[in-house]
Amino acid sequence: MSLTPKKIYTSDDYWKLPEDVRAELINGQLYNMAPPSRIHQKLLVELCTIINNHIKSKRGICQVYPAPFAVNLDANNKDWVEPDISVICEPNKLTDKGCCGAPDLIIEILSPSSRKMDYIIKNALYSEAGVREYWIIDPQKETSLVYCFNEDAAPTMYPFRTPIPFGLFPDLSVTISNLLE
């Protein structure tokens, strides 16, 4: 008895998805994305605003992109993800389709359906791709896990009431609980 082979999807399949369908392409598989919650969106807007205002105040070259924003991590059209927040500090990585290569900072805000994807699959993918800093914000547990891949493999856990320093921006920190008030 033969097993039916699993379909392998490509970048062409990803870009042919209807505009109203959000999905990510990882290792040849398409993963549907659930609509975000109100808390998720509030955190997304607040964090993007804080980061963007900081960059502008320093006249920096980094750019902030909230989801949906396509990121081709490996720059070879194999993996396309849509992080909640991407910060790119190398303008040559930006194309009309999104980002070609690893962003410098990625922030994912967990939803119940994305736990395994963000903690395990994307964590490994982001580390291997060369993302410098990766935050996983967990509204359910009221904690944030921060990886500084270019410094140490061990993450730091921050309760929502504790300021989180940005590795990418040493003079910036944020307290997640303040963003929810």
pLDDT for the residue numbered 5:
58
Distance (Å, rounded) from C-alpha 127 to C-alpha 153?
Answer: 9
Quick one: average pLDDT of 88-98?
A: 95
174: nearest Cα among 140, 135, 119, 147:
135
Mean pLDDT over the full length of the chain: 92
Peptide bond into 68 cis (omega under 30): yes
Query: Parallel, antiparallel, or unpaired: how do β-strands 133-138 and 105-109 relate?
Result: parallel
80: nearest Cα among 27, 132, 124:
27
- The radius of gyration of the chain from alpha carbons, rounded to an integer in Å, stands at 16
Distance (Å, rounded) from C-alpha 98 to C-alpha 119?
Answer: 23
pLDDT for the residue numbered 2:
45
Using the predicted structure, report yes or no on whether residue 87 has a pLDDT greater than 90: yes
What are the tens digits of pLDDT across the range 166-180?
999 999 999 999 999
pLDDT for the residue numbered 77:
73
Stated pTM of the model: 0.93
pLDDT band with cut points at 50, 70 and 90 for residue 1: very low
What are the tens digits of pLDDT across the range 3-42?
555 788 989 999 999 988 899 999 888 999 988 999 999 9
pLDDT for the residue numbered 94:
96
pLDDT for the residue numbered 75:
67
